[in-house]
Chain A
Amino acid sequence: AQKVTQAQTEISVVEKEDVTLDCVYETRDTTYYLFWYKQPPSGELVFLIRRNSFDEQNEISGRYSWNFQKSTSSFNFTITASQVVDSAVYFCALTGAPNTGNQFYFGTGTSLTVIP
């Protein structure tokens, strides 16, 4: 089965704190892709990052970093020195081949509130 689990429903942090959003996935595919999307209060989902199953290197983009670990089937997202503008719902997603075809599987999202 293909599944993405985001166990954290809501997180609140004070501005400048670091925060990690968890994502655990299940897949039968040997080749698969993981994504993070941000959905700010305005509502439009914004693509943040894509990783493929063959690249376990962690990635850093400014205050954002992603930790992909196949051993634990996790793809966690860390925001360093959080800001109010980071307040949003964050979704983790999975797709791959051949079992998932072109369908994307989204987690239920983590709502992050950064308190000034």
Chain B
Amino acid sequence: GAGVSQSPSNKVTEKGKDVELRCDPISGHTALYWYRQRLGQGLEFLIYFQGNSAPDKSGLPSDRFSAERTGESVSTLTIQRTQQEDSAVYLCASSLYLVGYEQYFGPGTRLTVT
């Protein structure tokens, strides 16, 4: 079956512009996660969605970052007034809502802020 897909694969934007990143999870996966990975670094948790529950936003680094998810489908991560330090790969992962079930990752969106 289809895996997690993300778009765009690459995004170059000017400092101060807003960007929107999209994630399509695996069908049937009710849990969805966003991570940020800076060059050569590990994964930084941003936000977690589970069904219609309130999202866990504890990892969002600033109020310039927000995310939405419609039901159990597509999610969008929005970064407003981008800064150069926002340059990173943004990874999306989905999972069944079972404690301990593995996450499946998308290919990521490489964001470059110039």
Contacts and interface: CB of A to CB of B under 8 A. Distances in A.
A, B co-complexed: yes
Interface of A: 31-33, 35, 37, 42-47, 50, 52, 91, 95-97, 101-104, 106-109
Interface string B71-104: 0000000000000000001010101010111111
Contacts of B48: 102-103
Given A33-B99, A50-B100, A95-B100, A108 B41 contact: yes
Interface string B21-51: 0000000000101000000011101001010
Contact of A109 (B31, B42, B99): B42
B42 A108 contact: yes
Contacts of B95: 102
10 contacts: A32-B100, A43-B108, A50-B102, A91-B42, A95-B100, A96-B99, A104-B45, A104-B103, A106-B43, A109-B42
